[in-house]
Amino acid sequence: MQKKLTKSKDKVFLGVCGGIADYLGVDPTMIRLIAVVLIACTGFFPLTIIYLVAAVIMPDYQEPSKHDDAVDGEFKEK
């Protein structure tokens, strides 16, 4: 199954960094620390705007449904 970039279910602030960490398979704390350092080094403005845009664009985390075994293009019966 293909990975999807979504917000984390373990949100600290909007779930963006946690979602990126889940996607990359790394510790969320590392991504959060990197984000804080980069935001501080860039004068807060550019990366803060990018973070907020990502929070709006990224879909929320959804639990995998029980019927995810259907092949692409097939209909799922309820």
- The pLDDT tens digits along the chain (78 residues) read 678 888 888 888 899 999 999 999 999 999 999 999 999 999 888 999 999 999 999 999 887 666 555 555 666 666
Residues 39 and 48 sit within 8 Å (Cβ to Cβ): yes
Q: Supply 67's token pair.
A: 């019927």
pLDDT at residue 38, as a whole number: 93
Through-space distance between the first and last CA atoms of the chain, rounded to whole angstroms: 22
According to the model, what pLDDT value does residue 36 have? Answer: 93
Q: Do the Cβ atoms of 14 and 7 come closer than 8 Å?
A: yes
**Alpha-carbon separation of residue 27 from 8, 18, 76 (angstroms):** 12, 8, 35
- Compute and round to an integer the Cα radius of gyration of the chain: 16
pTM value > 0.85: no
